[in-house]
A and B are shown apart, each in its own frame.
Chain A
Amino acid sequence: MSFISLLWVLLLGSLLGLELIGKVPPTLHTPLMSGANAISGITMLAALTLIVKAEGNVPLLIIGSVSLGFALFNVVGGFFVTDRMLAMFSRKPSNKK
C-alpha cells in the first residue's frame, strides 16, 4: 500500500465516522462511548502482526504479547460491559407488555 492511498483511507474513514453519529439520544451516550472504545482496541491486529513478524526475537514477542493483552482487555471488556448496559434497556419494554 502506498502512503498516499493510506492517507485516502484515513480521510474517508474519518468522514465516515463524522457521518455515522448524527443524533444520539442522551440515554445512549455512555453505551456508545464504551462500544466505540471497544472498537478502538482494533490495535490488537497491529499487535498480532508484530508477534507474527517477530521471527524469534523474544523481547519483541513479549512486547507484542503484552500489547495484545492490553488490546484484548480493551476489546473484550468493552464489548461485555456495553452489552451489560444495553441489556438493561432492552429487557424492560418486553417484560412489561
Chain B
Amino acid sequence: MNLPVIIKFVIDLLAVLLLALGIKGLSKVKSARDANRLAAFAMSLSVVGLLSYYLGTSGIAIQSWIWIIIGSILGSLFGAILAKKVPMTSMPETVALFNGCGGMSSLLVALGVAIFPISGGQENFDFFKSLINEVSISVSIFVGAITFTGSIVAMAKLQGWLSTPGWTQSKVRHFVNIVFAVASLIAFFDLINGNTSSIWLLVIVSSLLGIGVTLPIGGADMPVVISLLNSYSGIAAAAAGFVVDSQLLIVAGAMVGAAGLILTQVMCKGMNRSLVSVLFGGSLSTQSTASSGSGEYTNITSCSVEECALTLEAANKVIIVPGYGLAVAQAQHTLREVTKKLEQNGIEVVYAIHPVAGRMPGHMNVLLAEADVPYEQLKEMDVVNPDFPATDVVLVLGANDVVNPQAKNDSSSPLYGMPVLDVQEARTVFVIKRGMSAGYSGIKNDLFDLPNTSMVFGDAKKVLNDLIGELKDLGVGEK
C-alpha cells in the first residue's frame, strides 16, 4: 500500500465513524445541532479524502477540475439559498425536494457509467464487464429514479400544485403500477443480457413507477412517504457505491437507508397507520367517507371572539392545541402574542403537542420554537393528557383528528386506537376553525358536538388578531 491509499483509508474510516456519531446524536435534543455539524464535517472530510487520493495517484486533469467546480458551485449555491429562504412551514416539501435530487444524482452516476464505456469505445472503463456491475447499475437507476419522481410528486402535492386525480383512488392504479414494475423487471433482465439500450426503458418505467406509487397517497400520509423515500435515496447511494466501488458510499448509504426505515416505522406508529396501508391503501378520506364517519352534527355551539376572550380572561390554566391549520395560516407568531398577554395576566399557558401535529412529526415544535415559544411550555401528549381535567380553557387551533374523542370511545371508527389529546375533559373547549369541514381522515369529530365545546369560525390568524384586540379592550396583560 502506498501513502495516498493509506491516507484515504484512514479518512474514510474516520468519516464513517463521524457520520455514525452524527446520526446517533441527531436523535437527542441536546446533541442534535452539534451532531448535524459533525455529519456535515464528516461529509467534507470524505470529499477531501477522495480528492487527495486521486491527486496522489492518477492526478486530476484540469478539465475535470473545471467541471467539478462548476457542478459544486451551482449545486451548493442553490442548495444554500433555498435552505436559507424557505419558510419553516414548507419544511416537508423542502426535504422532499432535496431528497429527490439525491436520488437523481445516484441515477445520473449509474447512467453515466452505463452508457459511456460502450458508446465511447476506447474508454477504459471496465465497469460493465461483470454481472455484478450490471445489477448494481440497474438497482441504482431503479431506486434513484423512484426516489426522484416520487419525491417531486410528494413535493408538488404538499405545495398544492398537484391534487390527487380520481382514477388513482380506484383499483386501476394497482394494475398500472404492476405493469410498470414488470416492465422495469423486463428492462433489467434485458440489460443483463447485454442489450444496453434497454437502460432507457428502465429509466422511464422506474420514473413512472415512482409517480404511480406516490400520486394516490393523501396529504396526511405524505410525511411517511417522504421518510420512506429518504430511506430509498440511501439505498440508491449504496447501489451507486457498488457501481464506483466505494466502501464509504455503501456504508453511508446503508446507514441512511436503514435509519430511514426505522424512522418511517416510528412515524407510522405515531399516526396509527401501517406502512402497507399508507402505500397501498390510497388516501384515507375516500375510504372512510363511504363506510363510517357520515352523520350530521346536531349540537354545534358557535360563539364570538368576544365571548372567547371573556372566558380566557377568567381562566387560571389554558392549554393550546396547535395543528395543521395553524401552520397553514402562518399564525404561530400571532398565537405567541395572545399567549404572552395571557401569561402577563398570571394565566398558566401550556402547548399540547400531538406527535403528528403540524405537517409532519416534530414540525409543530419547529414552528412554535420559531415564534419564540419557550421550549418548556411544549408538552408532549402523554405528559399533558392527565392535565386536561384541571384545565379551564382549551384552545384548539386548526387541529381536528388529533382531538377526536372517537379514537377512544368508538371502536367502529377508523380513527379508533389512534392516540389523541383528551381535550374534552377540560371545562371549556374553543375550536378555532374555518368551517365545519372534516380533518384529514374525513371523519366527523364528536368533540364539536359536546356541550362544553364552542366553535369560533374564521381563519386562525384573523381570529387570533381579533382576540388580541378583545383582550386589549379587557385590559388583559397590561400593567
Is B253 in contact with A54, judged by CB distance below 8 angstroms? Answer: no
Is A13 in contact with B250, judged by CB distance below 8 angstroms? Answer: yes
Q: How far is B260's CA from A65's CA once the two chains are assembled, in angstroms?
A: 27
Do A71 and B101 contact each other (CB < 8 Å), given the known contacts A17-B259, A34-B91, A63-B112?
A: yes
Residues of A contacting B291 in the complex (Cβ-Cβ under 8 angstroms): none
Residues of A contacting B374 in the complex (Cβ-Cβ under 8 angstroms): 92, 96
Residues of A contacting B32 in the complex (Cβ-Cβ under 8 angstroms): 28, 31-32, 86, 89-90
Q: Which of B74, B86, B92 has the most CB of A within 10 A?
A: B74
Q: Which of A13, A61, A96 has the most CB of B within 10 A?
A: A13
We find that the number of chain B residues with CB closer than 8 angstroms to chain A is 118
Q: How far is B238's CA from A13's CA once the two chains are assembled, in angstroms?
A: 10
Do A88 and B369 contact each other (CB < 8 Å), given the known contacts A28-B26, A35-B22, A40-B99?
A: yes
Is A47 in contact with B109, judged by CB distance below 8 angstroms? Answer: yes
In the complex, which residues 58-108 of chain B have their Cβ closer than 8 Å to any Cβ of chain A? Answer: 58, 60-61, 63-64, 67-68, 70-72, 74-76, 78-80, 82-84, 86, 88, 91-92, 94-95, 98-99, 101-102, 104-106, 108
Is A47 in contact with B361, judged by CB distance below 8 angstroms? Answer: no
Which residues of B line the A interface, CB within 8 A? 19-20, 22-24, 26-29, 32-33, 35-37, 39-40, 43, 46-47, 50-51, 54, 58, 60-61, 63-64, 67-68, 70-72, 74-76, 78-80, 82-84, 86, 88, 91-92, 94-95, 98-99, 101-102, 104-106, 108-109, 111-113, 116, 120, 123-125, 132, 226-227, 230, 233-234, 236-238, 240-263, 266-267, 270, 353, 355-356, 360-363, 365-366, 369-370, 372-376, 378, 380
Which residues of A line the B interface, CB within 8 A? 1, 3, 6, 9-18, 20-57, 59-93, 96
Q: Sample 30 A-B pairs with CB under 8 A, ordered by A number.
A: A9-B247, A13-B258, A14-B257, A20-B27, A28-B26, A29-B266, A29-B267, A31-B36, A33-B260, A33-B263, A34-B94, A35-B26, A36-B230, A38-B39, A43-B102, A44-B105, A45-B248, A46-B237, A46-B244, A49-B246, A55-B123, A60-B116, A68-B105, A70-B108, A75-B43, A81-B82, A81-B95, A88-B366, A88-B369, A96-B375
